[in-house]
Amino acid sequence: MIVGFLILVYLLLMPKSHGRKKDPVYIPEKVAHAAPLPKESPKWLAPAMLAGFLVGLVWIVIYYVSNTSYPLPHIGAWNMVIGFAFIAGGFTLATRWR
């Protein structure tokens, strides 16, 4: 009983915490009235992204299967660079997809 009384006295005598007063957040006019970002990707984005992946993959597979004779025979290993460029283009478009 005495312990309960001491806890009650302790809680009543403890100072109350006062909340900090915060200044209102400043938002510049340019940001406050900026146009919102589009919520959806353009319709052409997903097909173009997949086309980049597939064209790059097919380009590299044809290069290996044809024993480095196709798709462009006179540029040699640069065919790999072209194939990976298509794939990199697909990944670049993938970063814009929402």
Region of poorest pLDDT, from 28-32, 38-42, 77-81: 28-32
> How many residues appear in the chain?
98
Residue 67, φ and ψ in degrees, nearest 5: 60, 45
Q: Of residues 35 and 7, which shows the higher confidence score?
A: 7
Half-sphere exposure of 85 (CA within 13 A, CB side): 5
Higher pLDDT, 39 or 52: 52
Instruction: Write down the pLDDT at residue 4.
Output: 80
> What is the percent of the chain with per-residue pLDDT over 90, rounded to a whole number?
46
- Cα(84)–Cα(57) distance, rounded to whole angstroms? 8
> Average of pLDDT values for 22-45?
79
Residues in CB range of 28: below 8 A, 6 or more apart: none
- Hunting for tokens 């403890």 — which residue is that? 14
pTM of the predicted structure, to 2 decimals: 0.62
Give the model confidence (pLDDT) of 40-57 as tens digits.
Answer: 889 999 999 999 999 999
Question: Distance between CA 63 and CA 55 in Å, rounded?
Answer: 12
Instruction: Tell me the H-state helices in 1-98.
Output: 2-13, 29-32, 45-65, 78-94
State residue 70's pLDDT score.
Answer: 87
- Can you give the pLDDT at residue 26? 78
Are the beta carbons of 55 and 86 closer than 8 angstroms? yes
